[in-house]
């Protein structure tokens, strides 16, 4: 699923 | 973090280092689009506001600070320190043509209607097109230095390898982010089109470049 707002990259 | 993402991040750092070292060593920012650097500055600032709200890892935080700081340094070198060498007469792309569509699109297509999230989305869209003023500047000048070829290849490969990272994460973790993927594909296409646009541009060697 799409993890919304999970910005764990650069 | 997987090897693809790490390799991509290293290329991203390498691209920025290439640019800064060139300016530093030759005391000149000839051939560099200040406008693209301003766009990248906006990209990093609007994306990494989450430094104050979300902690992911020491690696992430250090890299975010690195991108914001080095981008500020680049803008300072171009517009203040080595202002006289900045070729503003070749850097003519109208950045509002990129800023306005990205701003509008980020307001319409985003994950959530909150300020930080819209800014993250704006940053992601803007990154995908931020190199365009640089490509136009090279085209207009008709010549390209070797450092700029390295810069463009490293920067283009960085997002292309992120695409592999996203495919890998989708398979391994079922994680995906459609906005990032869409912008990453667009960004990669723009670099590929850029290399087509610039084929035939003469590779020039600057006077001060031939140092060990």
Q: What is the pLDDT along chain B (212 residues), one digit of tens a residue?
A: 899 999 999 999 999 999 999 999 999 999 999 999 999 999 999 999 999 999 999 999 999 999 999 999 999 999 999 999 999 999 999 999 999 999 999 999 999 999 999 999 999 999 999 999 999 999 999 999 999 999 999 999 999 999 999 999 999 999 999 999 999 999 999 999 999 999 989 999 875 555 55
For residue A3, pLDDT over 80 is answered with no
**B120 contact partners, CB below 8 Å, separation of at least 6:** A7, B46, B47, B50
How many C-beta atoms surround the C-beta of residue B176 within 10 A?
Answer: 15
Tell me which of B106, B123, B177 to substitute to probe the interface with A (most A C-beta atoms closer than 10 Å).
B177
pLDDT for position A6: 82
CA terminus-to-terminus distance, chain B: 36
Phi/psi at B175 (5° precision): -100, 135
* Contact assignment for A10 to B111 by CB distance below 8 Å: no
pLDDT for position B205: 84
pLDDT for position A1: 43
Q: How far is CA B117 from CA B140, B157, B204, in A?
A: 36, 26, 43
Closest partner residue to A10 (CB to CB) among B54, B63, B177 is: B63
Question: Which residues of chain A does B120 touch, with a Cβ-Cβ cutoff of 8 Å?
Answer: 7
How many C-beta atoms surround the C-beta of residue B51 within 10 A?
Answer: 14
Return d(Cα B136, Cα A8) in angstroms, integer: 32
Return d(Cα B169, Cα B54) in angstroms, integer: 21
In eight-state DSSP terms, residue B176 is B
Please state, rounded to an integer, the average pLDDT across all residues of chain A. 73
Q: Which residue has the tokens 């764990």?
A: A8
In this structure, the strands spanning B202-204 and B143-145 are parallel
pLDDT for position B97: 98
Return d(Cα B131, Cα B152) in angstroms, integer: 9
Q: Which residue has the tokens 């900045």?
A: B86
Tell me which of A3, A5, A8, A10 to substitute to probe the interface with B (most B C-beta atoms closer than 10 Å).
A10
Nearest residue to B133 (alpha-carbon basis) of B31, B19, B201, B11? B31
């Amino acid at each position: 699923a799409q993890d919304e707002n999970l910005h764990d990259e650069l | 973090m997987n090897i693809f993402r790490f390799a991509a991040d290293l290329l991203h750092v390498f691209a920025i280092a290439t640019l800064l070292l060139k300016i530093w060593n030759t005391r000149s920012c000839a051939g560099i689009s200040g406008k693209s650097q301003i766009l990248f500055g906006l990209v990093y600032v609007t994306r990494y506001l989450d430094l104050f709200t979300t902690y992911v890892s020491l690696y992430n935080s250090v890299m975010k600070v690195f991108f914001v700081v080095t981008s500020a340094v680049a803008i300072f070198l171009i517009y203040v320190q080595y202002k006289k060498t900045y070729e503003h007469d070749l850097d003519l792309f109208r950045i509002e043509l990129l800023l306005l569509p990205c701003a509008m699109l980020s307001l319409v297509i985003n994950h959530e209607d909150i300020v930080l999230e819209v800014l993250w989305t704006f940053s992601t869209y803007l990154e995908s097109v931020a190199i365009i003023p640089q490509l136009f500047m090279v085209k207009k000048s008709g010549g390209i230095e070797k450092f700029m070829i390295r810069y463009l290849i490293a920067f283009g490969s960085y997002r292309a390898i992120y695409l592999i990272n996203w495919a890998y994460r989708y398979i391994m973790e079922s994680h995906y982010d459609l906005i990032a993927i869409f912008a990453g594909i667009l960004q990669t296409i723009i670099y590929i089109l850029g290399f087509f646009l610039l084929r035939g541009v003469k590779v020039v060697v600057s006077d001060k470049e031939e140092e060990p």
